[in-house]
Amino acid sequence: MSGARPTCKSCRYWSEMIAKSARVGVQAMCLCPTMPRQYTYGSDGCASWADAPHGAIDAPGNENAYPGAAT
């Protein structure tokens, strides 16, 4: 799927640990340090997207997965 826009669901800052039920599915908290804290849908996206080879930064066991990334 080349050229596809990265989405929140595949971003390291999209926290499924802090989530809520919304009118259309689930929204999770964006923990990006350069963005305001807000709930977003997994299909949303932004310019601050970051690859998540180890999952979300706040997932259990990921305390040291992304050096320099503070939440």
Task: Tell me which residue of 26, 24, 23, 30 sits closest to 8, measured CA to CA.
Answer: 30
Instruction: Tell me if the pTM is above 0.85.
Output: no
Quote the pLDDT of residue 67: 80
Domain ranges of the chain: 8-41
**Each residue's pLDDT expressed in tens, for the chain with a length of 71 residues:** 456 789 999 999 999 899 999 988 999 999 999 999 999 999 999 999 999 988 899 988 888 888 876 55
Quote the pLDDT of residue 70: 57
Quote the pLDDT of residue 1: 46
